[in-house]
Amino acid sequence: MLKHDVVIVGAGLAGLRACVELRKKGIDAIIVSKVYPTRSHSGAAQGGVNAALGENDSWESHFFDTVKGSDYLGDQDAIEILTSEAPANILELQRMGVVFNRNDLGGIAQRPFGGQSFPRSCYYADAVGHMMLHGLFDNVLKYKTKILYEYFVTSLVADNGKISGIVAYDIKTGKFEGIAAKAVLFATGGYGQVYSSNTNALINTGDGMAVSLKAGVPLMDMEFVQFHPTTLKSTGILVTEGARGEGAYLLNSLGVRFMSKYAPKAMELAPRDVVARAEQTEINEGRGVDGAILLDVRHLGKERIMERLPQIMQLSIDFEGVNPIYEPIPIRPGMHYSMGGIKTDYNGRTAIEGYYSAGESACVSVHGANRLGGNSLLDTVVFGRRAGIDIAEYLKDAAFTKFDESLIKRDEEIFEKLKKSNGKERYGLLKAELQEEMRANVGVFREEKAMKKAVKKIEELKERAKNIGVDDKSKLFNTDIVEAFEFSNILLIAEVIANGAILRKESRGAHYRNDYPERDDENWLKHTLATLGDNGNIKFDFSEVSITKFKPQPRTY
């Protein structure tokens, strides 16, 4: 059994940021990650990280934009923290070695992003996530941090409401390991693989959320799933909102900038939920181009494209066979981000004492019903940092609690049983069925009948999943067994999303119901909290939204 004061699970931006905060204080914090840290999905973030730095900009404006963007479901106390701490966080990253593009005055360059009143997205060309991830990772190396990489976490262990540690599967050796800790932070990212046509890495299977749910920690607002308006038609690979920030047009088959109809003022820079719906409407009404919309950057000119959007250019060439300098890029909405997640407060604390979460896996909630582009990277560093600070404080009085070692054995048996199974079902194919079901029936536009069908499909898949066969019976680097287990996590998360979406009988932010097309503040200005009942069913509860400064108003762009 390993024993460390703090175990950070996940090595994307939130995990690394928290880790730096702890390690620079000399605290015994280690990183446990399913992949080597630099492989984390934060690296794929492209366009920007928001902070009100400009002379005419103010953090209060960023505050309001974010509240409005969240369709008033975001907690205003948390959003105030997010936006007022944003500028200092950016400068701190810069001091740590992160490089941002510069403006002519010697400050950090900023570009416009959707739903923001000012150009306030700081960037490094169109690879800011990559830049931040590697910059933070370098700092984790600076503080000589122990990293258990290619470890897959299967359980949280708690004792009387206090965290005891985790159970993890060492992918390299096939051994289960208990790791006792006084504090555990989950920065395990999202669940993009629940949907087909998503922008997420293949590793984004909602593991942290599923493990938390199974440990009795509530998940909040899981029905809010962000569909990014611009993902490559064939692969779902992300095309940054920065493209529209730089001035790209969205065109339908008639060559019309259709956003004038949906968001006459903000046009292409309306928030993602608005743009994604507009695109889907155009496609549904027959004005798409082979089921896609065209993103046109040609008028920006070769030089600007190469300078500001080099990755987009390369991705379009490599994955879509289109050079955006000469041709518009075929794109469509694709699942991108989870607004919901493990319920935390603004210091990352959860329902279990000593157990924290930050980043996409957490729901603070600063994004409410719809996240604004450039706010997720900000979320990771602001709340990753805060969790680190809070954990350091917490440790002063914390002690190791009793670690129930039978859980190690339990997880081992689950894996062994799965491994021995010679069932006829293949998880890869079941996953594809699930993903397509979720895209089609719990997607951009939702309605009760279709969602109930999806729930039924999930039930069916759960049943069939009992008959999954795993080809790989060996111990060493058995990715077959890991993927099979990941599939069970995806299934569970899908179930939470679909049931939450059925429950919420209104349209708000990214959650749009054809059968309830209006926002209903009277009944639904509240968070949903999902937990697992004794019978394995999803139970729902509600909690209040923090409203401090901005009373809900109609949301138009």
Q: Are 358 and 14 in contact (CB under 8 A)?
A: yes
What whole-number distance in Å separates Cα of residue 41 and Cα of residue 34? Answer: 11
Q: Is 542 in the site for other proteins (CB under 8 A)?
A: no
Q: Is 132 in the site for other proteins (CB under 8 A)?
A: no
Min CB(140)–other proteins separation in Å:
9
Q: Are 31 and 11 in contact (CB under 8 A)?
A: yes
Q: Which stretch binds other proteins (CB under 8 A): 212-220, 289-297, 312-320, 399-407?
A: 312-320
Nearer to other proteins, 43 or 509 (CB): 43
Burial string for 260-288 (b: 16+ CB within 10 Å, else e) reads eebbeebbbbbbbbbbbbbbbbbbeeebb
Instruction: Kindly identify the residues of this chain, within the stretch 432-471, that bind other proteins according to CB under 8 A.
Output: 432, 470-471
What radius of gyration, in Å, describes the C-alpha atoms of the chain?
A: 22
Q: Which stretch binds other proteins (CB under 8 A): 123-131, 178-186, 324-332, 539-547?
A: 123-131
Q: Is 416 in the site for other proteins (CB under 8 A)?
A: no
Q: Is 546 in the site for other proteins (CB under 8 A)?
A: no
Q: Is 394 in the site for other proteins (CB under 8 A)?
A: no
**Listed residue (354, 337, 356, 336) closest to 346, CA to CA:** 356
Nearer to other proteins, 195 or 557 (CB): 195
**Listed residue (355, 404, 396, 436) closest to 188, CA to CA:** 355
Min CB(463)–other proteins separation in Å:
20
Residue ranges of alpha helices (H) inside 46-115 are 59-69, 76-84, 86-96
Q: Is 315 in the site for other proteins (CB under 8 A)?
A: yes
Asked if omega into 365 is within 30° of 0 (cis), the reply is yes
Tell me which of 23, 111, 272, 308 is the catalytic residue: 272
Q: Is 306 in the site for other proteins (CB under 8 A)?
A: yes
For helices 427-441 and 448-465, what crossing angle results, to 10°? 170
Answer yes or no: 332 catalytic. Answer: no
Instruction: Kindly identify the residues of this chain, within the stretch 482-521, that bind other proteins according to CB under 8 A.
Output: 483
Burial string for 33-64 (b: 16+ CB within 10 Å, else e) reads bbbebebbbbbbbbbbbbbbbeeebbbebbbb
Min CB(526)–other proteins separation in Å:
28
Q: Which stretch binds other proteins (CB under 8 A): 69-77, 104-112, 212-220, 509-517?
A: 104-112
Q: Which stretch binds other proteins (CB under 8 A): 55-63, 326-334, 500-508, 512-520?
A: 55-63
Instruction: Kindly identify the residues of this chain, within the stretch 142-201, that bind other proteins according to CB under 8 A.
Output: 142, 172, 201
| Binding-site string for other proteins from residue 20 to residue 39, where x marks contact by CB under 8 A and - marks none | ---------------xx-xx
Nearer to other proteins, 285 or 471 (CB): 471
Nearer to other proteins, 469 or 543 (CB): 469
Task: Provide the token pair at 288.
Answer: 């798409």
Min CB(433)–other proteins separation in Å:
12
Min CB(87)–other proteins separation in Å:
4
Nearer to other proteins, 134 or 244 (CB): 134
Q: Residues 223, 506, 456, CA angle at the centre, nearest 5°?
A: 50
Nearer to other proteins, 102 or 417 (CB): 102
> What would the 3-class secondary structure string for 147-201 be?
EEECEEEEEEEEECCEEEEEEEEECCCCEEEEEEEEEEEECCCCCHHHCCCECCC
Q: Is 67 in the site for other proteins (CB under 8 A)?
A: no
Q: Is 476 in the site for other proteins (CB under 8 A)?
A: yes
Given 480, 486, 495, 506, the residue binding other proteins (CB under 8 A): 480
What whole-number distance in Å separates Cα of residue 264 and Cα of residue 280? Answer: 17
* Block residue for tokens 């963007």: 69
Neighbouring-strand partners of residue 185: 8, 356
What whole-number distance in Å separates Cα of residue 320 and Cα of residue 129? Answer: 22
Q: Is 425 in the site for other proteins (CB under 8 A)?
A: no
Q: Is 202 in the site for other proteins (CB under 8 A)?
A: yes
Q: Is 107 in the site for other proteins (CB under 8 A)?
A: yes
Q: Is 91 in the site for other proteins (CB under 8 A)?
A: yes
Q: Is 429 in the site for other proteins (CB under 8 A)?
A: yes
Nearer to other proteins, 187 or 398 (CB): 187
Nearer to other proteins, 252 or 380 (CB): 380
Q: Is 421 in the site for other proteins (CB under 8 A)?
A: no
Q: Residues 304, 305, 307, CA angle at the centre, nearest 5°?
A: 60
Instruction: Kindly identify the residues of this chain, within the stretch 348-377, that bind other proteins according to CB under 8 A.
Output: none
For 317, which DSSP code? I
For 447, which DSSP code? -
Number of residues lying near other proteins (CB under 8 A): 79
Q: Are 121 and 110 in contact (CB under 8 A)?
A: yes
Given 1, 102, 301, 393, the residue binding other proteins (CB under 8 A): 102
Min CB(233)–other proteins separation in Å:
10
Q: Are 333 and 231 in contact (CB under 8 A)?
A: yes
* H/E stretch holding 243: helix 242-245
Given 472, 503, 526, 547, the residue binding other proteins (CB under 8 A): 472
User: 459 φ, ψ to 5°?
Assistant: -55, -45
For 108, which DSSP code? B
Given 474, 514, 537, 548, the residue binding other proteins (CB under 8 A): 474
Q: Is 325 in the site for other proteins (CB under 8 A)?
A: no
Q: Is 64 in the site for other proteins (CB under 8 A)?
A: no
Strand stretches in 207-269, DSSP E: 219-220, 225-232, 249-251
Min CB(184)–other proteins separation in Å:
23
Pairing of strands 249-251, 110-111: unpaired
What whole-number distance in Å separates Cα of residue 249 and Cα of residue 95? Answer: 36
Min CB(429)–other proteins separation in Å:
7
Nearer to other proteins, 124 or 195 (CB): 124
Nearer to other proteins, 81 or 395 (CB): 81
Cite the active site residues: 272
